[in-house]
Structure 1
Amino acid sequence: DEYGLDLGSVTWVVDDEDHIEGRAPANVEHVADGRSLGDLLRAGEIDAALSGNAGTGRADAPRAGWSAPSQSTEDGPYPLFPDHEVLALDWHLRTGIYPLHSVIALRSELVERDPGLPTALYAAFAESKRRQVEADPEWSALPRLGKQARQLGADPIPYGV
């Protein structure tokens, strides 16, 4: 909505394996083995890429595992918006939304068998996050979060239901 792009008209190209069962929508394609989003950008085969800490230059990971070294020696692509960090912070301050990273879902039958499971699982993840932040307050699975967190004040990636 922010820039008038109809997301349904976009062909999404992903370089990660599927984490859930099911069929991806018709407008989702996978990068061919041995290619990366960075390769496709440089070749003009895609117009933009969304990337996190892993970047767009890898040709083998994550299929080879997240710890596998990238085979790309070229610099990654440039941001679509030169002032992207300012725009991201502004958007968060206007909307109160920080980009979603993960969702955990439980099968109903598991919860029926163990009604305390959701609470215990939530507590385990919250404790894990607390320990990580205590050990390294600047750590984040999201790029630049340490710097942005100081600007945002509250925890920008709170856990919740």
Structure 2
Amino acid sequence: MNKLNLSVAIGNYDRCRPLIDGAVQIDGVNPIFMTLSPEEIFFRAFRGEEFDICELSLSSSTVKTAAGTLPYVGVPVFLSRAFRHTAIYVRTDRIRKPEDLRGCRIGLPEYQLTANVWVRSFLEDDHGVKPSDVTWVRGGISHAGRPEKIRLDLPPNVKLEDAPEGETISSLLAKGEIDAYVAPRAPDVAPGTPNVGWLYPDPVAAAQDYFRRTCIFPIMHILGVRRELAEQHPWLPGAVYKAFNESKSVALAHLGETSATKITLPFAEERLKEARELMGEDFWSYGVDGNRHVLDKFFDHHHRQGLSSRLVTPEDLFHPGTFESFKL
């Protein structure tokens, strides 16, 4: 069988590097890797369907799955996972605790970003601050005029407005014209900007407490295979899932080999031990099995926040060939 020559657009993550370097192969595929930023991948994937296999926003994929317009089939490879307690910055001169956000103006780059869905979920579940309790101000982090990637039809009680022309949400936060800021990236403000800081003084402790209570390690990004390719080659999503799993296993084995630290960070061995003590041996698991409660929580909030027109399930999003694999 001739191998398929396919483009693969993903971030340059340690868990993908064995694939990128060729140490791990995708059965039946000659991959052409492009390591790009998530913002560029998502823009090109959802606007132009430019890649055969690519990293996808969980939120954008859910919006389009609910509408029946997703041009990719999902593979439950969770290339990005993150506790987003570090994603909320506030004016520390007026916001002391999460409950203070009621009635405030909060900047964000796009309403539907996956990180923002998760932030709104724990603000509501843990602190009683609903999406309708604040005014959302949409704008770029570093460049003015950032639009939503996909069209949204939000509930009437959600107040969403655009930042003033020429302003970013970073500049508005620095000037005190918004009360808070939620985004996957830190605000683009000068170091030492007064009265700008994290909502949670110790976001790691807040995230650890969240995990102990919920057993949820939030999923940000999934993998997608272009739908027409998956229809032509039903084996392909399963082969992709298998290869990315193997690549992650190789990366974790390297990370745990302590004779010489593999990442440029002190105390890496100790942090790995702490993560496994809190979250288990396979703390960054792929697959629906073991992650269904995480996905169901996300889909429920996504729908209740008015982003998906119907409640999506894992069976709606992911290819059936990725739900189970052989065992010896």
Structure 2 unmatched ranges of 5 or more: 1-124, 155-159, 257-261, 289-328
Q: For the residues of structure 2 that align with 1:45 and 1:13, how far apart are their CA atoms? A: 13
Q: For the residues of structure 2 that align with 1:31 and 1:92, how far apart are their CA atoms? A: 38
Q: 1:74 aligns with which of 191, 215, 229?
A: 191
More helix by share: 2
Q: 2:186 aligns with which of 45, 48, 55?
A: 55
More strand by share: 2
Could you report, residue by residue, the CA deviation over 1:5-49 in whole angstroms, capped at 9, with x for unpaired residues? 11255516364778x9631456375797784x4433222233223
Equivalent in the alignment of 1:68: none
Equivalent in the alignment of 2:217: 98
TM-score normalized by structure 2? Answer: 0.35
Equivalent in the alignment of 1:152: 278
> Secondary structure of the residue that 1:134 maps to in structure 2?
helix
Flag the structure with larger Rg.
2
2:187 maps to amino acid: T
Distance 1:90 1:33, change over 3 A: same
After alignment, is 72-81 or 107-116 more displaced?
Answer: 72-81
Aligned partners of 1:12 and 1:28 also within 8 Å = yes
By how many angstroms is 1:98 displaced?
A: 1.0
Could you report, residue by residue, the CA deviation over 1:123-145 in whole angstroms, capped at 9, with x for unpaired residues? 23223322333333586xxxx97
Could you report, residue by residue, the CA deviation over 1:74-121 in whole angstroms, capped at 9, with x for unpaired residues? 247421022322221111111111122212344543322111111112
When the two chains are superposed, the root-mean-square deviation of aligned CA atoms in Å is 3.7
Q: How many residues align?
A: 140
Structure 1 unmatched ranges of 5 or more: 58-71
> Secondary structure of the residue that 2:247 maps to in structure 1?
helix
Aligned partners of 1:40 and 1:46 also within 8 Å = yes
Aligned partners of 1:14 and 1:29 also within 8 Å = yes
Q: Does 1:13 align with 2:138?
A: yes
